[in-house]
Amino acid sequence: MPPKERIAYFYDDNLGEDCPVFENLFEFCQMYAGGTIDAARRLNHQLCDIAINWSGGLHHAKKSAASGFCYINDLVLGILELLKYHARVLYIDIDVHHGDGVEEAFYFTDRVMTVSFHKFGDMFFPGTGDVKDIGEREGKYYAINVPLKDGIDDASFTRLFKTIIAKVVETYLPGVIVLQCGADSLAGDRLGCFNLSIEGHSECVKFVKKFNLPLLVTGGGGYTKENVARCWTVETGVLLDADLPNEIPENEYIKYFAPDYTLKIPNGNMENLNSKSYLSTIKVQVLESLRCIQHAPGVQMQEVPPDFYIPEFDEDEQNPDERVDQHTTDKQIQRDDEYFEGDNDNDHNMEDGP
């Protein structure tokens, strides 16, 4: 099917109002999903201990449907790549929304444990993620949902997070961790309803890093964009063990950070609707379910899909501050009406034929 009709077909069946088709949509998907797959590949080959893809983390996309601003589920693709080398992968999600796409992909397996902390109830998107949803068949007890109410603050969130994640790691013994750091759980997010400061949010990243396991970190949601940039900058610093000055240095986007031009943001003053007894009930239910799991399940012998092609040059060697200029980018753009190139080009074959 020609590309335009193919998009129209896909649009009718699988895209809702929150997943519009826009120009270069395919390239957009290719870039963020490729980033997460490559991050996984680097971890598999021990080219790094921590790999970050802030453009990834699109956790709502399903196998054959886009959902909630997510078109391709890069996290699922990255985890599949990690499963070639690791018996058990732990997925942690601190986006304000339930990580439904990732949970659904691995709901029937014990090789991936998914743990999602999210707002639940009041018809909040996507509507799934009840504490009672724990996985099925071989995956029973290997999906964990921590449903929360509006206004959760740093103290209650980080306490609950640390208790649950410490127990999960101790019980499940993952070989690698994938952490989705959606920044819509921050106070003041345009869509979110939690009350986390950047310090509270990044405290979770700091805690996960301390396990010293290979770690794949992605972005995710985040709709007050200057705070998203602040949050992921602070978290990059945390992952690099680098102390960053609170004052944002001069740069071409500095006007977005007015009037304070600082990295840290003050806490909001929302009411925390998560009572102590509610949080304690959730914690007990989650820990109870964790007690049911077999310690660190093993993997039967099975055929492992081949690795991706590994390029000879190392992108890490390139200067990250050097931007690719427009002229170079333009040279790589292909004409829309050219579908073939190289040895298998039909046009050439026709010319060469009898």
Nearer to Zn ion, 135 or 220 (CB): 220
| Nearest approach, Cβ of residue 150 and Zn ion (Å) | 15
When asked if residue 100 is in the footprint of Zn ion (CB under 5 A), the reply is no
| Nearest approach, Cβ of residue 60 and Zn ion (Å) | 8
Please give the structure tokens belonging to residue 212.
Answer: 């010293």
Q: Which of 221, 231, 234, 274 binds Zn ion (CB under 5 A)?
A: 221
Size of the site for Zn ion (CB under 5 A): 5
> What residues contact residue 271 under an 8 Å CB cut-off, 6+ apart?
150, 151
Nearer to Zn ion, 81 or 189 (CB): 189
| Nearest approach, Cβ of residue 221 and Zn ion (Å) | 3
Catalytic residue among 60, 86, 98, 118: 60
Separation between Cα atoms, residue 39 and residue 42, nearest integer Å: 5
Annotated binding-site residues for substrate read: 18, 68, 223
Nearer to Zn ion, 161 or 172 (CB): 161
Q: Which of 86, 97, 111, 201 binds Zn ion (CB under 5 A)?
A: 97
User: Known catalytic residue: 60?
Assistant: yes
Burial of 337 (0-12, 13-18, 19+ CB in 10 A): exposed
Contact 95, 220 (CB under 8 A): yes
Separation between Cα atoms, residue 56 and residue 314, nearest integer Å: 20
Q: How far is CA 329 from the centre of its chain?
A: 27
DSSP for residue 322: P
How many CB atoms sit inside 10 A of residue 140's CB? 15
Nearer to Zn ion, 109 or 195 (CB): 195
Q: Which of 95, 110, 153, 203 binds Zn ion (CB under 5 A)?
A: 95
Whose structure tokens read 């956790």? 59
Nearer to Zn ion, 151 or 182 (CB): 182
Annotated binding-site residues read: 18, 68, 95, 97, 184, 223
Annotated binding-site residues for a divalent metal cation read: 95, 97, 184
Nearer to Zn ion, 169 or 205 (CB): 205
Annotate 183-221 with DSSP letters as a single string. Answer: GGGBTT-SS----B-HHHHHHHHHHHHTT-S-EEEE---
- What is the x/- site pattern for Zn ion, positions 168-197, by CB under 5 A? --------------x-x-------------
| Nearest approach, Cβ of residue 95 and Zn ion (Å) | 4
Q: What is the largest CA-CA distance in the chain?
A: 82
| Nearest approach, Cβ of residue 114 and Zn ion (Å) | 15
Separation between Cα atoms, residue 185 and residue 198, nearest integer Å: 10
Burial of 226 (0-12, 13-18, 19+ CB in 10 A): middle
| Nearest approach, Cβ of residue 17 and Zn ion (Å) | 16
> What residues contact residue 63 under an 8 Å CB cut-off, 6+ apart?
73, 105
Which residue is nearest to Zn ion, using beta carbons?
A: 221
Q: Give exposure, 69-106, as e/b (b: 16+ Cβ within 10 Å).
A: bbbbbbbbbbbbbbbebbebbbbbbbbbbbbbbbbbbb
- Residues forming contacts to Zn ion in the complex (CB under 5 A) are 95, 97, 182, 184, 221
Which residues are marked as active site? 60
